[in-house]
Structure 1
Amino acid sequence: MKRIFQIFSLILVSYIAHAQVYTYPMLAKQFSTSYVTGSARMQGLGGTQSVLGADLSSIAGNAAGLGFYSRSEVGLNFALNSSQTDADYLSQSTSGTNNLFHMPNFGIVISGDYLSSSSWRGAFGIGYSRQVILTQPLNMEGTNNRSSYLDHLIQKAGDKGATGASLDNEFDPVYNTADSPEAAAYQAYLINPNAKTGGAPFERYLPNLPTQQFGYAVNSGSVSQWDISYGAAYQEHLYVGLGLHFTKLNTSQSQLWEERYAGNNFVEGFTYEEQLITTGSGISASLGVIYKLKPNLRVALNVQSPTYYDNIKEQLTGSMSPQISEIPVTGGYITNVKPVKLTPNEFTYQLVTPFRISGGMAYFFGKRGLLSADVEMLNYAGMSVASAELGPYANQQFKDKYNSQISKNYQTVLNMKVGAEFRVSSAWTVRGGAALYGSGFSSTYDSIDRNQFQVSGGLGYRSSAYYVDFAVVQRTGKDAYTPYTLKNAADYASAALTLTNTQFTLGGGIFF
């Protein structure tokens, strides 16, 4: 491990594109933010699953809902997720799309009288669920008349007091690898030390020319869970449940930044690429209660502990590929420079996600339908990171740096969801819902409204032996992305982003 605190110098997009540069707080939030999850029925109902039982979603959600099962069930759901990001950067609009076919959940519930008291009955549930999926893409481009990403690297080299000699020391000629992006740019003849000082201020060729800039990102992977839960009913009024959740994190994030300098006789441009692969396992527990105030009115409460990831592993690779016309050197010109790779960096750390508490209420119109509402509270400010790989002093520095950023820039949020279901015949049901997800960013971060609004609808068919459900969910929101920063805020730009995520889910199951 050669770079502890500098992991990504450039990241274009996470699960949602976030402003500024990648940090561990950003990654912690990315791995902690769930949107559309659960079965097709619950998705169509806006995600109001804390108070509605007898559904496979109860295995990963409020396990008390398993107490409503009077017979066993096995089921699964498939989904097509389509993500689109519209970017406006330097007065130029672009759009990126990405599609993913995946399985939101599947599970089996075994119902029976497992408790000795005749007043109790219960059900076990074992299932798989995807809590987070990475699909949001980003394409952006524009002509920058004020700066280049190389200016950002020039400032980084100056801030750490680099010289040509010190950047040479960061380069391994045997493997053609550099320990930092600024060292890679130096070896690629993209930035040069001042001729008089041998160091700062570093320079680039013909800095006043317009710069054509292009940014791309492709993400994949998910945060998934294996869930084991039990729910029990007491005299058909009180329902309690306990769940244990084993989380698997496996993501890959690839990004590319490209620049072209029209009219530059020395350097035509460059392409900078990075890829971060992250894997890890975590564990959490949940405890839920549902109570029937009246036969047609019920309330619920569910508490989800933070997920503790004991050993998240990340691997960062990258390369700087220059496009050279001719670089003057002693005795002639250089017309071809090989790409310079970043020294592969591997690092392990620990992550604690937010504490969650949710509550709900549902009113039933006999067998004709229902109205339901959920409120979920997440304490994003309670996330934390650490690294046992580091020594005690370095680990304390690591925690102080990033956990202070978490407490400053994140806050507790409320996610609000409503849903309705009406039976149009003895077998067919129609559903609809809406949800508002809080951004989790505090006012100290910036003034952008990153709340996400979601609408959904669905159909269901149910017989005595099986059921089939279909749902469509669309979520929209705003965000911004800043590819790099400079000391003079007037010299760099941000992209305004409009995010759209649409998911079609088809599910079903059989009773036995």
Structure 2
Amino acid sequence: MKIKYLLSVIAIVAVTKNSFAQYSQDAVRFSGAQTGSTARIKAVGNAGTAIGGDLSSISGNPAGLGFFTKSELSLTPEYNNIKVNSTYQSTHGTDTKSSGNLNHAAFVIYQQLNRPKGTDRSKGWLSFNYGGGYSRTNNFYENINYAGSNGTNSINDYYASQANQFGIDIGTLAGNAYDHNLIDNYGTNANPNYKSNAFPGVDQQSIITRTGGQSALDFAFGANYSNKFYIGLGVSFTDVRFNSLSNFYEDGALSVLEGSPTPVAVTRDYSSKFTQDQNTRGSGFSGRIGAIFKPVDAVRLGAVINTPTYYTIDDSYNESLATSISNGSRFEDGPQNYSLTYNMRTPWKFSGGASIFIKSFGFITGDIEYIDYSSTHISSDENFNADKDDNPAIRSLYQSAVNYHVGAEARIASFFLLRGGYGIQGKARRDDNASDIKTVSGGVGLRFGAYYLDATYTHATGSQTVYPYEVGSASPGALLNRTLDNGYLTLGYRF
């Protein structure tokens, strides 16, 4: 397989000046999924490890299923809006994207265990509950648009560096740039030295459209022992879908050789468009084991161990280059396709939490999660050597991270509950090219006998610096500040 030239920014962690390995980005893109949950748990900061008795337990801590004393089902649609504010070459821009999805759907079946007559029915194994569900764990929908005037370099400098490193073979990006007169050989045939033909001062714009997400089918069971100790097991079958269409535009002036028999250098205006189209599909599976312990009725302590997700991923990448020059020349090459199927193992995740219940007035809850992104591993095969670039890049670029979640629920009336929460998703990169993601949440709950309704709003913020192309320390960076506003509505029924 011919290694593709990777330039695109990605959903969670951008291409940076440190590495251009092909698939190491997936260490965060597909490992940063959030636990699927109902609107109730989202409202308390997604801190559900030690709460129990909520359908989020199917995808979270399966031990929480042991708290159910009735069967139950629920449905949670969502509305998402993401706004990306950009700063590139001191020029500000913004773009937005809205979408609606089914975020969570689940059921649990309550199975009380038969006990001999005359025995203490509050001791021993009391129930064995099981359930299944669907959860959307990651959303890749977003539009990114940044533009500015670059007086330092051109994307042609990147093409020239590729030519100096790999040559200008037919069908390669560097070969196309050479054919389009964007770069030329300023050395000799024996010792080529490719450079950009562009004059300093170019206008640049990047427009990126992304769609897709991650979702999981979850199955779990939980058991109750003496209303003190709860244990559960769960499995997830995960689906990944990621699409990214990126167009990078550049306008400026360049030196073109014209005339015969002795060509002379002439200054001409030019416009170029570099297009990248990535489509990724994948599936995987993982497991988890959890426990909740109640030392006293008011306190619950929970823990979950999530195994890695073992993915098989199909990646298809297309790139093309189109150029127009004011002398009437038109060039277009591509799309050139590069495809690969590979396996990836995401990190283990360890979670712990505690909840304090204040009789029937509500509760306070908190979680902490640990995940080491640098332990992500991509498998090599006869078509692809991941140990050459990608796995070393994962170990050098990424780090372990700690995520925090806190929240509370207050019962204002017998039928009305008020909730709030806060969460921090620790940054996965070792450098400063990305920040923590901070989420504030709030919601309400209504109870009508066997029916209930929960509504939640979340507001998340984070930033990252992305680089449209790589030219060493002079690589131009775009600062992206993301704001995500999400609404969730859970409709539930107990029976």
TM-score > 0.5, shorter chain as reference = yes
1:353 equivalent to 2:353? Answer no
CA 1:35–1:237 in 2, change beyond 3 Å: closer, same or farther? same
Question: Partner residue of 1:399?
Answer: 387
CA 1:243–1:267 in 2, change beyond 3 Å: closer, same or farther? same
Contact 2:222 2:230 in 1 (8 A): yes
- Name the Cα RMSD after superposition: 2.0
Give the partner amino acid of 1:383.
Answer: T
Q: Provide the C-alpha distance between the structure 2 equivalents of 1:27 and 1:39, rounded to a whole number of angstroms.
A: 27
Question: Partner residue of 1:234?
Answer: 225
- Runs of 4+ residues deviating >4 angstroms: 114-118, 262-265
- Could you give the per-residue CA deviations for residues 32-52 of structure 1, whole angstroms, max 9, x where no partner exists? 103474111111000001111
3-state secondary structure, aligned to 1:381: helix
- Could you give the per-residue CA deviations for residues 76-102 of structure 1, whole angstroms, max 9, x where no partner exists? 101111111111111111112111211
Contact 1:12 1:481 in 2 (8 A): yes
Question: Partner residue of 1:175?
Answer: none
Question: Partner residue of 1:279?
Answer: 281
- Could you give the per-residue CA deviations for residues 350-397 of structure 1, whole angstroms, max 9, x where no partner exists? 10001001010000111111000000111112110013353xxx63xx
Question: Partner residue of 1:12?
Answer: 9
Q: Provide the C-alpha distance between the structure 2 equivalents of 1:138 and 1:497, rounded to a whole number of angstroms.
A: 8
Question: Aligned-pair distance for 1:478?
Answer: 2.1
3-state secondary structure, aligned to 2:184: coil
Contact 1:414 1:437 in 2 (8 A): yes
Greater shift, 350-359 or 262-271, is seen at 262-271
Question: Aligned-pair distance for 1:469?
Answer: 0.6
Q: Provide the C-alpha distance between the structure 1 equivalents of 2:297 and 2:325, rounded to a whole number of angstroms.
A: 76
Q: 2:363 aligns with which of 370, 373, 385?
A: 370
Q: Provide the C-alpha distance between the structure 2 equivalents of 1:77 and 1:324, rounded to a whole number of angstroms.
A: 53
Question: Partner residue of 2:302?
Answer: 300
Question: Partner residue of 1:473?
Answer: 458
Question: In the comparison of the two structures, how many residue pairs are matched?
Answer: 475
Give the partner amino acid of 1:307.
Answer: T
1:460 equivalent to 2:465? Answer no
Unaligned runs of 5+ in 2: 256-266
Q: 1:268 aligns with which of 267, 270, 282?
A: 270
Give the partner amino acid of 1:496.
Answer: L
- Could you give the per-residue CA deviations for residues 24-70 of structure 1, whole angstroms, max 9, x where no partner exists? 22122110103474111111000001111121211111000111111
- Could you give the per-residue CA deviations for residues 396-421 of structure 1, whole angstroms, max 9, x where no partner exists? xx224322222222221110110010
Q: Provide the C-alpha distance between the structure 1 equivalents of 2:14 and 2:163, rounded to a whole number of angstroms.
A: 27
CA 1:263–1:275 in 2, change beyond 3 Å: closer, same or farther? closer
Question: Aligned-pair distance for 1:343?
Answer: 2.2
Percent of counterpart pairs with the same letter?
27
Question: Partner residue of 1:506?
Answer: 489
3-state secondary structure, aligned to 1:153: helix
- Could you give the per-residue CA deviations for residues 217-264 of structure 1, whole angstroms, max 9, x where no partner exists? 111111111111001111111110000111111111111100011587
CA 1:267–1:195 in 2, change beyond 3 Å: closer, same or farther? farther
Question: Partner residue of 1:73?
Answer: 72
Q: Provide the C-alpha distance between the structure 2 equivalents of 1:463 and 1:136, rounded to a whole number of angstroms.
A: 37
Give the partner amino acid of 1:186.
Answer: Y
CA 1:439–1:270 in 2, change beyond 3 Å: closer, same or farther? same
- Could you give the per-residue CA deviations for residues 188-227 of structure 1, whole angstroms, max 9, x where no partner exists? 332233374377322443x224100001111111111111
Q: Provide the C-alpha distance between the structure 2 equivalents of 1:223 and 1:362, rounded to a whole number of angstroms.
A: 29
Question: Partner residue of 2:181?
Answer: 189
CA 1:389–1:197 in 2, change beyond 3 Å: closer, same or farther? closer
Q: Provide the C-alpha distance between the structure 1 equivalents of 2:493 and 2:199, rounded to a whole number of angstroms.
A: 68
Question: Partner residue of 1:316?
Answer: 317
Q: Provide the C-alpha distance between the structure 1 equivalents of 2:82 and 2:187, rounded to a whole number of angstroms.
A: 49
Any residues of structure 2 matched to 1:209-228 within 5 Å, and which? 209-228=200-219
Q: Provide the C-alpha distance between the structure 2 equivalents of 1:448 and 1:416, rounded to a whole number of angstroms.
A: 21
Contact 2:153 2:200 in 1 (8 A): no
Q: Provide the C-alpha distance between the structure 2 equivalents of 1:286 and 1:263, rounded to a whole number of angstroms.
A: 58
Q: Could you tell me the TM-score, scaled by structure 2's length?
A: 0.91
Q: Provide the C-alpha distance between the structure 1 equivalents of 2:345 and 2:416, rounded to a whole number of angstroms.
A: 43
CA 1:414–1:473 in 2, change beyond 3 Å: closer, same or farther? same
Question: Partner residue of 2:107?
Answer: 108
1:482 equivalent to 2:467? Answer yes
Contact 1:150 1:204 in 2 (8 A): yes
Give the partner amino acid of 1:458.
Answer: G
Any residues of structure 2 matched to 1:60-139 within 5 Å, and which? 60-113=59-112, 119-120=124-125, 121-139=127-145
Question: Partner residue of 2:407?
Answer: 419
3-state secondary structure, aligned to 2:176: helix
Contact 2:187 2:193 in 1 (8 A): no
CA 1:502–1:115 in 2, change beyond 3 Å: closer, same or farther? farther
